[in-house]
Amino acid sequence: MPLSESKKPGEKQDVFWTKGTIAFFIGVGVIVLIFLVWVALNWSARAAVERELEKLRAAGQPLTPEEVAPPLVPEAENAAPVFQRAFIEANAADAAVEADTTLGGLKGRKTGYWCDMSFADVNIHRADVRGALEHHARAFPLLDKALALPTCRFDLDYAASFAMELPHLSELRHLARLLKARAFLRTHEGDVAGALRDVERMLRLRHALDDEPLLISRLVRLAIVTMAIDALSKIGEGRPLPEEEAARLVKRLAAVGPWATMHAALVSERAFGMDAVNTVLRGELTPTGSRGTFATRAVASVGGFWMRWNQVAYIELMTEMIDASALPPMQALDAARDIEDRMTKLSDVRGLFAKMMMPALANAMKRTAMVQARAHAAAVGIACRLYERRHGRRPSDLSRLAPEFLDTLPVDAFTNKPLKVAPTANGFVVYSLGPNGVDDGGTPSAPNAYDKDVVWEHRNTPAPAPPAPTPPGASP
């Protein structure tokens, strides 16, 4: 073959590099395009988050846990240090009760939980309960001293955010249980006035958490109020109530208004939730709550835009829930149900954080309204008993209770109308229509069912006590 017709040296190599160059630039173009899309998605997600945050800033809303912390209070007016001393004394007394071999009726119970005995059990083990309370003789004066102070602010590390420790909450509940046990014992020993004073102390104990803007603190306040109302219903069965102590309790119960604090609690919950989301965005925490690793930080960096869209959805839905809490309870609960329905319909791409952090809020709102309704029903019920003692009959209309026994007549938290009264075979009930808004004639809801009325019941004669437990080895 003539040399002129042969392929020039390097000709194939040039064609090969031309194709390779084209492929290279296509690949680079695809990578650049993906990068630009990623940048655009991150920019738009960041901008969306910033728009939501700017709305909150403009409204003066707190955005971080530190911003929801209550202001400091004068040391001389702060009940928290006195409560702390009461906690120490109560815990030491619990250990002494555990070690006291003479208190046989309290054995086999979890340390510190002997005071959760039922009204009937306290009567059965009266001597043991009295002995256990004597071990707590140093805690009760400290409790009274703390209750006499005007403010309370526990030293909490708000900067720790959702890792903040809250040991005082269980301690306050324990003090409430001690008061309940002493109230039951005093009732069985004929000191009904002293028992009512202990119930009043329980209601005052909730004020230790008045300025603590945490949802869990609000729930503990509800638990303490519920404990007080349950104790009062047992104490009042078939017994005349001393007028002075009963009248003070009526005022205390009528003043129970946890619904007004729900808004602040949800604002705080949003601040803590946003901080949790930011921690996930930094890769320091996974969405399931486990500690972050190098891999999670890498995923957070790459998928940050997805998490920020989740953050936007959480802020939007949480803000709607907060706005709903400013409405009257029934309207608020309807709005909360609508918010939850929309939340559950969101895909996990956009609604994962909201689904993880918001499901319990509607139930918390419902429980808050129910405790308020029951406290007001109890106030009206005790006022009816005082009216009957003074006038020889129950009032024909609840409006007759004010202003003689109540400054103003409480209304049903759910309907904003007067509470209902109905006679029973053994007394009477005062009730709210409850979350379903239907008059069920004073039929109470089953525990955690929320499907019937919210009821305060007075029995003219006590309910039959359950039989005493059969000693081991004895014939039933």
How far apart are alpha carbons 35 and 43 in whole angstroms?
12
Q: Look at the chain and report how many structural domains it folds into.
A: 1
With respect to residue 162, please indicate whether it lies within any of the assigned structural domains: yes
With respect to residue 230, please indicate whether it lies within any of the assigned structural domains: yes
With respect to residue 366, please indicate whether it lies within any of the assigned structural domains: no
Confidence grade of residue 8 (pLDDT, cut at 50, 70, 90): low
The percentage of the chain sitting over the pLDDT mark of 90, rounded to a whole number, equals 58
Domain containing 194 equals: 68-235
Amino acid 268 reads S
Helix (H) or strand (E) run with residue 423 in it: strand 420-424
With respect to residue 3, please indicate whether it lies within any of the assigned structural domains: no
With respect to residue 159, please indicate whether it lies within any of the assigned structural domains: yes
User: Mean pLDDT across the stretch 328-339?
Assistant: 91
With respect to residue 367, please indicate whether it lies within any of the assigned structural domains: no
228, 202 Cβ separation under 8 angstroms:
yes
pLDDT at 389: 92
pLDDT digits 0-9 by tens, 220-232: 999 999 999 999 9
pLDDT digits 0-9 by tens, 308-320: 888 888 899 999 9
How far apart are alpha carbons 421 and 49 in whole angstroms?
51
With respect to residue 131, please indicate whether it lies within any of the assigned structural domains: yes
| Burial status of residue 292 (CB atoms within 10 A of its CB: 0-12, 13-18, 19 or more) | middle
Confidence grade of residue 417 (pLDDT, cut at 50, 70, 90): very high
The 3-class secondary structure across 113-159, one letter per residue, is CHHHCCHHHHHHCHHHHHHHHHHCCCHHHHHHHHHCCCECCCCCCHH
Residue 348: which residues within 8 A CB-CB, separation 6 or more?
A: 355
pLDDT at 11: 53
Q: Residue-wise over 441-464: b if at least 16 C-beta within 10 A, else e?
A: ebebbeeeebebbbbbbbbeeeee
Count of CB atoms situated within 10 Å of the CB of 328: 13
pLDDT at 151: 96
With respect to residue 430, please indicate whether it lies within any of the assigned structural domains: no
pLDDT at 1: 44
Count of CB atoms situated within 10 Å of the CB of 337: 14
User: Mean pLDDT across the stretch 25-42?
Assistant: 78
Whether residue 35 has pLDDT greater than 80 = no
Question: Both ends of the chain: CA-CA distance in Å?
Answer: 119
Estimate the crossing angle of helix 259-281 against helix 215-235, to 10 degrees.
140
